[in-house]
Structure 1
């Protein structure tokens, strides 16, 4: 287990909740991959993972795994952290700021799925939503902009992400939405 996770009790609980969703071998793979990503001194390569063979890591990482339960645990944990932080802020009604942005990840391959050229960038184009309360911010969702479906625009994807934020999760907090090209909207 990573020392950064052990340092934050709430993160340790999230870590344990996610662990219950995996088989033992899949968990060792996920744990080794997480350790590889969180260690700044080590390159993120299969050969640098400790505690598991390269072939096992490759097989389990390519298979995917129980992503929906992990996402559900992550979402619940992020909402709890934002609520705790909101109660620590002195204002009685903190603002929840929802930021939506189109981000491009440059790719060089020609036959990769979802890759296209947009705004002079050849790569994968994502619509990412961050939710912030005060200084605390989490990425709460993303959608891939698929060039095969031109009827689904980045704006449609942004609205789909925003609709996932159910008002009952957030209480009576004032909400502001910020995004590329449309400033601030209140809801």
Structure 2
């Protein structure tokens, strides 16, 4: 059991490392100059070069990656040039809403999945088993945004069981 756990944690760390490289390189392959994009096309070259140096984009790629990872570990996710403020609070705000959504989804999906699995097992190779299996596979292969729209239509528009809105205010309850 311990070897399995060590292997899974090791594979998770390798996956996170490779994912971080892909995300970092995704930002690096974009066309254009960072300083020019921030300062605009009319800025003189000296100001663009100064900003590029300040941001560190004139350093070697490996050095930039190391700084990027180190800053991320320390909680510094950079500055939003649109809002002129740190990015971390925006991410934390979105993470809170994502965790609420994941918790509600977990509470709904696990009992439904267990119940469906038990019913399908009790009706092995019968039409009910096929229907439950087909339904489960259909939900699995559909992209989340398609499933989300279908669920909004069913539970929000047709049945009117749930409100159709974005995140609720912090002081509101789950179903208010």
TM-score range, shorter chain: under 0.3
TM-score (norm 1): 0.21
Q: Which has the higher helix share?
A: 2
TM-score (norm 2): 0.22
Q: Which has the higher strand share?
A: 1
